[in-house]
Amino acid sequence: MRTPAPTRPRTYGDIDGFIVLLEVACEDAEINATLQQLLVLPDDRRHAAVHSLTLRLRQSGAEETLIEAIACLIDDEVAEQAYVRIFQCARGLA
């Protein structure tokens, strides 16, 4: 019996919903502003906010793609890069 080939680990770049979330934030000023408010929080407060938000989204029956995208923002480095990206969009630089 063959052992299955190991799968490549997923990165945040592999999560389509995360990429779409950033694209939508560039197109929608309200979503951009909301994400900026989340991303400027100190890390510990952002972690708690993301955790709370993903729980509320799951309880309300939101699509798993959105929940997974929001959950990416718990990672400090990812949150920092996302903030840079959406901040640039809001200023028409991206």
3-state helix vs strand vs coil in the chain, percent to 5: 75, 0, 25
- Per the CB < 8 A criterion, the answer to whether 65 and 58 are in contact is no
What three-state secondary structure class fits 2?
coil
Cα–chain-centroid distance for residue 40? 14
Q: What is the pLDDT of residue 9?
A: 45
- Percent of the chain at pLDDT > 70 equals 84
Average pLDDT over the chain, rounded to an integer:
86
Mean pLDDT confidence for 67-82: 93
